[in-house]
A and B are shown apart, each in its own frame.
Chain A
Amino acid sequence: MNSASTVIPARAEMAFTLGFHIIFACLGIALPTIVLLAEFIGLRRKDDTAMRLTRRWSQAMGVLVAVGTVTGTVLSFEMGLLWPGLMRQYGAVLGLPFGLEGIFFFLEAIFTGIYLWGWDRLPSWAHWWSGVPIAVSGIFGAISVIAVNAWMNQPGGFTQHGGQITSVDPWQVFFNHAAPYEMPHMVLAAYMVAGFIVAGVYAAGILRGRRDRYHYTGFALGFVPAALLTPLQILVGDTAARAVAHDQPVKFSAMEYVPQTASHVPEWLGGVYVNGRVYGGLKIPDMDSLLVGFRPGTQVTGWDSVPAADRPPAVWLIHLCFDLMIGLGFMLLLAGLWAAWSWWRRRRLPAQRLFWLLGTFSGVAAVAAMESGWVVTEVGRQPWVVYRLQTTAAAATTSGSVIITLSLVIALYAALGTATIAILQMLARRWRRGDVATATVPYGPPAAPRWPAREAGR
């Protein structure tokens, strides 16, 4: 058993690196689809604006994919460097979905290489098709990784004897009990994050007075898919919460402030739980029972059902993150409805400044909602790493010096994040100036004939 002095930094490090990577993962999963959509419109309708957007997004994708690849590698290493106890005990089980993920990651990386660097050299439709495997494997890769997280919440598909895994059913490991609700929830979240981030970038430009076709097209290509998926996501999320109430009642009781098992449980909007009291929240009588079982008399399990040691820490954090996720989700739904209403009545996007403020904020909001959701599911599962089978403390490394790696990783990622944003902003400035010169040769302006004619026949 580990002391808290190792476990807390290890958890902080995992949370920090995962929280950083997942933004890039979302963009890696869903941005290719948005880019392909733009290129499709550009090719089909011979739309120069869509084509220009596609090329610029593709260039930004080159940076985002690289950062996503290396930060994803950090997580792979951390599985062993921070959680050797987990891997030692359950590596043979949870490794299988990771194996599938490896295949999809391969396809993604290979076709990203072809798509990003095949511009102007491959026939235009062949180029478009070379992007399709990226979009498809992005979705399946995400599903495979989420299978592992879902398995940690609802472990199954194996038997163990005296601490040894004796048999494994790969199918049940992959399609575990939490998979049906976690997988669609995250894939939709990835699409919403990528779509709203794209929309937010162009909404900010429109707010600054760049009201041209280029900015409206860029906004619409991100906003429309994301806004269309938002109501679906709210439905999936509602189903997931009800499933968690059943599958992991203690996590649910923390999400909703249910100290004692009872019926007619109220719903708390906001509020901080301290020593048995909720401060500052809005209480809606019977609402939680109603949401869980569609009747006010539904019994909801409280965290008193398990000993104090088996309860998650910081229930206020779990509850507030849960509420933040839902609040932001409904705000994004509202933005979508506003745009839909305006389009229905006037055949154009809303002109109000507030709408474009909302649009600008939508990218940050989607990221914040997704991160809050991860805090809910990960902190809510504590003290377990594998629900009811292994504690996080038992999984953590004993190699020492986690504090040092945590500090270095924070410094490194701060620099990495700053550099990524700075480079994307620099690209945007360059595009706005209309600079044709993009540096591709290290240490100097591009040479005049970039591609000497090939000798025929070699």
Chain B
Amino acid sequence: MAPDALGAILLAGVTLYAVLAGADFGGGLWDLLAGGTRRGRAPRTLIDESITPVWEANHVWLIFDLVIFWTAFPHAFAAVMTALALPLWLALAGIVLRGAGFAFRKELTRVPWQRAAGAIFAFSSLLTPFFMGTVVGAIATGAVPANASRASLAAWTSPTALLGGLAFVTGCGYLAAVYLTEEARSRGDRRMQAYFTRRGQAAGVVTGALSLAGLAVLHGSDPALYGRLTGRALPLVVVAGACGLAVLALLTAGRTACARVTAALGVAAVICGWGVAQYPVLLPGTTVTLSNAGAPHATLAALVVVFIAAVVLIAPSYTLLFTLQRRRLLGAGYNGTAPAAPASPSPLPPMHPQQPREEHTSGRRAAFALVALAVLTRRGRHRG
């Protein structure tokens, strides 16, 4: 029971990392392909504004997933980290360079330096999804032995694993483009909405094609996994395909908010399909399952408690972050030498008429204001 719960938690964590942070990496893909200084300015600005306040929070899902993985399933974790050391190091290099390049570019003012930092951000945004994809491909195809003692090159360079890497890159780009159409629409930017609609649809088609190619390769190389994907995981595979087709239509129809949710659901269905296909085996091709991967019951029970505490604390905070971002109350619109009072007219929407008086409130009222703001914006979201 507890091992299954932890397996579900890990799968949920991976899904959240993919649909949240995956889009941040995808933003790097579109930044890379945005063209020269002039042509790329509008998409780069939109990408930058969309990623800025949230990428660090989204990135924490990876840390959370790693911790759940090594605590709940230490034997499987050690095997994966040993056998797949090389792609993991490379994915890690991508994470370091992506974050640093992105943060540094903001503070640079000279165009050549901005270009260099931007190029580092954009190129490394491809590294991480690609190598993560090969890692997932290697695990799914049973290339990780239970007692791995050496790093293996063959494990993650099989056709399936490499196709997985490519599909992760285009999948991240797909998510990013679909999310960015909604960002563009909410800003009233028709041009960018059309721009990312085209790219979202193209990336969706390519990702779908790569996934089908992966399935075809599996049919020959790993009939067992193929059988389970088209057997008990078939409903989820169908849902994933249906979501993908629906997104193409929704984007054309300009229903961007709906497309965003549907695209995320599609990716979630793919990841859950993978989970269902190999349940309860943790490392296919071995005897390592959810229940014999090395953690005693008390650890698993404690982790479930940690997860519940995490949901209780993180869900409202995350909601606040996303709500503030959607209301465009977060962004880099200040300069370091501005006086204490906002120099520019307040960008707050008129639904907060009491805002100027907030300057004089005491701390307690300010706390209330933050809560009230959260409540107000949440209600606004439901209305919208």
CB pair B45–A441 under 8 Å, yes or no, is yes
A443 CA / B75 CA spacing, docked (Å) = 47
CB pair A103–B150 under 8 Å, yes or no, is no
Most chain A CB inside 10 Å of its own CB: which residue of B53, B71, B188, B314: B71
A81 CA / B182 CA spacing, docked (Å) = 39
Nearest Cβ distance between residue A34 and chain B, in whole angstroms?
Answer: 17
Which A residues lie within 8 Å of B96 (CB)? 70-71, 73-74, 412, 416
Residue of B nearest to A51 (CB): B340
Which residues 328-347 of B sit at the A interface, judged by CB distance below 8 A?
A: 328-340, 342, 344, 346-347
Chain A interface mostly? helix
CB pair A439–B74 under 8 Å, yes or no, is no
CB pair A92–B295 under 8 Å, yes or no, is yes
**Which segment of A123-131, A200-208, A243-251, A289-297 sits at the interface?**
A123-131
Per-residue CB contact flags for chain A residues 420-449 toward chain B (1 = under 8 Å, else 0) read 100100110011001111111111100100
CB pair B60–A106 under 8 Å, yes or no, is yes
CB pair A451–B99 under 8 Å, yes or no, is no
CB pair B53–A113 under 8 Å, yes or no, is yes
Per-residue CB contact flags for chain A residues 394-422 toward chain B (1 = under 8 Å, else 0) read 00011111000100100010001001100
CB pair A125–B363 under 8 Å, yes or no, is yes
Per-residue CB contact flags for chain B residues 73-98 toward chain A (1 = under 8 Å, else 0) read 01101111111011011001101111
CB pair A73–B330 under 8 Å, yes or no, is no
Which residues 97-136 of A sit at the B interface, judged by CB distance below 8 A?
A: 98-103, 105-107, 109-114, 116-126, 128-130, 133
Which B residues lie within 8 Å of A113 (CB)? 53-54, 56-57, 321, 325, 330
CB pair A419–B367 under 8 Å, yes or no, is no
Most chain A CB inside 10 Å of its own CB: which residue of B44, B62, B74, B384: B74
Per-residue CB contact flags for chain B residues 288-300 toward chain A (1 = under 8 Å, else 0) read 0000001111110
B-contacting residues of A (Cβ < 8 Å)? 42-43, 46-48, 51-52, 55-56, 59, 62-63, 65-67, 69-74, 76-77, 79-81, 84-85, 87-93, 95-96, 98-103, 105-107, 109-114, 116-126, 128-130, 133, 164-170, 397-401, 405, 408, 412, 416, 419-420, 423, 426-427, 430-431, 434-444, 447, 450-452, 454-456, 458
Given contact pairs A71-B96, A89-B74, A125-B363, enumerate 16 new A-B contacts (beta carbons under 8 Å): A43-B340, A55-B334, A70-B100, A79-B70, A99-B68, A109-B60, A110-B318, A114-B53, A116-B53, A128-B363, A130-B370, A165-B295, A430-B336, A439-B114, A442-B31, A450-B333
A-contacting residues of B (Cβ < 8 Å)? 31, 37, 40-41, 44-45, 48, 52-54, 56-57, 59-60, 62-64, 66-68, 70-72, 74-75, 77-83, 85-86, 88-89, 92-93, 95-100, 102-109, 111, 114-115, 118, 148-151, 186-188, 294-299, 302-303, 306, 309-310, 313-314, 317-318, 320-321, 324-325, 328-340, 342, 344, 346-350, 352, 355, 358-359, 361-363, 365-367, 369-370, 373, 384
